[in-house]
């Protein structure tokens, strides 16, 4: 009795690991924590580091691989699903004896176990499960491998001397994977010309000279979103950024604000102004607009709901602009192109895996399992079934179906 109970527990654990969809939920805990941490702006446990998520995805891919081999091995088996999983509660009574019912079902393609009470018909849906797990593994494993070698960095630079992209210190923002180390294939870059956003270059562009690791030079026009591929890395010109240094004084003496304001491109021009940025200094809030074609700056300053300043000036033409007792000057203007460097990902492989996954799901949904459990009865026999094929083969009418709790 104890041995039977032990075997039953082992069987349930085996089905939970190899068959049940509920086991998948374990691998969604850490991604859910990361998402909640981002949405709630809270440092939740396991969300502050990328390594728990990466380890979770690696384990997830290995788990899916095990399931793939489990289902793949089942293709050669006579009994694929087994009699212990997914047993329905509804019994259906027929006048045929158990032996006659089994003979009829065997003629229709059902295969029975050694006991002769459980049978199933091989279906394409099982093949769909194999394809599903194969595709899912390709997606997870490729994504996890790409994350191991992940590298992404941004640098803001303008026309002038070259920068060496092999040095990680040149990047303002950088994200590096656990095994990323070799940046030696990245080139030196010198920007020789910047193009304002226009119909030809909606986000602007740069003309750059790249000195490659083998000593060759290559002149390229970089425009978003088209990358320049160097080895395993893609180099993008993501956007242009203007950084005026603005000084606002009152009564020609007291400084209200002095500092740099980062202006980024608006999705849609606002009264012909294509770039926009804000600043806050105590109770003062400011908005700065810029029109590159005319070098026109517009500065709006509020103190709460009170409008203090709304004026325009042309950079390098107007020394200052006055409005009431306020004066605005723009002494310098940085013009930067934001360069984005990223380690290439195997997106074609991931898309292929995703396509396989959806094909597998489609086949699995389209072709349902056909399974049957037979039992002797005083008059005829009763059976439980998954799928409609068994009832069809045994010519069961609605009035013959009996529900037992």
Q: Report residue 96 as tokens.
A: 């045929």
pLDDT of residue 367: 94
Give the total number of structural domains in the chain.
1
* DSSP H or E segment with residue 357: helix 347-366
pLDDT of residue 399: 40
pLDDT of residue 400: 47
Does residue 399 sit within a domain? Answer: no
pLDDT of residue 178: 82
Q: Is the entire prediction scored with pTM above 0.75?
A: no
Q: Is 364 helix (H, G, I), strand (E, B) or coil?
A: helix
pLDDT of residue 401: 47
Does residue 310 sit within a domain? Answer: yes
Q: Is 49 helix (H, G, I), strand (E, B) or coil?
A: coil
Q: List, for the chain, all residue ranges whose pLDDT scores fall below the cut of 50.
A: 1-9, 397-405
pLDDT of residue 358: 97
From start to end of 95-203, where are the E strands? 111-112, 118-121, 151-157, 163-164, 173-176, 188-195
Does residue 225 have a cis bond before it (omega within 30 degrees)?
yes
Between CA 313 and CA 334 the distance in angstroms is 16
pLDDT of residue 327: 85
C-alpha count within 13 angstroms, C-beta hemisphere, residue 325: 6
Does residue 33 sit within a domain? Answer: no
Between CA 273 and CA 278 the distance in angstroms is 14
Does residue 272 sit within a domain? Answer: yes
Does residue 274 sit within a domain? Answer: yes
pLDDT of residue 2: 43
Between CA 364 and CA 253 the distance in angstroms is 77
Query: In which domain, by residue range, is 310 found?
Result: 245-333
Q: Are 369 and 387 in contact (CB under 8 A)?
A: yes
Does residue 103 sit within a domain? Answer: no
Q: Which residues of 282-296 are buried (b: 16+ CB within 10 A; e: fewer)?
A: eebbbebbbbbeeeb
Which tens digits make up the pLDDT trace of 301-349? 988 888 888 889 888 877 777 777 888 888 889 889 999 999 988 999 9
Q: Are 179 and 149 in contact (CB under 8 A)?
A: yes
Which tens digits make up the pLDDT trace of 29-67? 888 887 777 777 666 676 566 778 888 889 999 999 999
Does residue 326 sit within a domain? Answer: yes
pLDDT of residue 405: 37
Does residue 9 sit within a domain? Answer: no
């Amino acid at each position: 009795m104890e041995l039977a109970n032990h075997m039953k527990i082992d069987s349930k654990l085996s089905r939970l690991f190899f068959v049940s969809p509920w086991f998948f939920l374990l691998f969604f805990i850490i991604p859910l924590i990361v998402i909640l941490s981002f949405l709630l702006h809270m440092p939740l446990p396991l969300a502050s580091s990328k390594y728990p998520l990466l380890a979770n995805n690696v384990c997830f891919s290995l788990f899916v691989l095990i399931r793939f081999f489990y289902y793949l091995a089942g293709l050669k088996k006579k009994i694929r699903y087994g009699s212990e999983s997914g047993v329905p509660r509804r019994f259906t009574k027929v006048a045929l004896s158990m032996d006659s019912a089994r003979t009829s079902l065997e003629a229709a393609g059902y295969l029975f176990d050694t006991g002769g009470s459980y049978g199933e018909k091989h279906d394409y849906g099982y093949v769909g499960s194999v394809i599903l797990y194969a595709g899912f593994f390709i997606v997870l494993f490729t994504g996890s491998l790409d994350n191991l070698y992940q590298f992404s960095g941004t640098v803001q630079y303008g026309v002038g001397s070259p920068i060496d992209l092999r040095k990680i210190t040149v990047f303002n923002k950088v994200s590096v994977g656990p095994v990323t180390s070799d940046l030696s294939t990245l080139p030196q870059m010198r920007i020789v010309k910047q193009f304002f956003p226009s119909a030809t270059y909606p986000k602007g562009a740069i003309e750059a000279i790249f000195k490659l690791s083998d000593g060759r030079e290559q002149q390229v026009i970089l425009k978003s979103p088209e990358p320049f591929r160097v080895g395993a890395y893609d180099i993008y010109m993501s956007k242009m950024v203007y950084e005026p240094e603005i000084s606002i004084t009152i009564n020609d003496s007291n400084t209200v604000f002095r500092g740099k304001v980062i202006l980024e491109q608006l999705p849609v021009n606002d009264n012909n102004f294509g770039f926009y940025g804000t600043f806050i200094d105590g109770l003062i809030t400011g908005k700065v607009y810029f029109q590159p074609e005319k070098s026109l700056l517009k500065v709006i300053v509020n103190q709460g709901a009170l409008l203090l300043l709304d004026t325009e000036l042309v950079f390098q033409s107007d020394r200052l602009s006055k409005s009431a007792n306020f004066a605005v000057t723009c002494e310098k203007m940085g013009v930067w192109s934001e360069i984005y460097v990223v380690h290439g990902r195997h997106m074609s492989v991931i898309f292929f895996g995703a396509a396989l996954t959806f094909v597998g799901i489609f086949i699995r949904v389209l072709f349902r399992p056909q399974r049957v459990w037979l039992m002797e009865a005083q008059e005829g026999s009763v059976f439980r079934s998954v799928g409609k094929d068994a009832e069809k083969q045994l010519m069961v009418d609605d009035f013959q179906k009996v529900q037992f709790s």
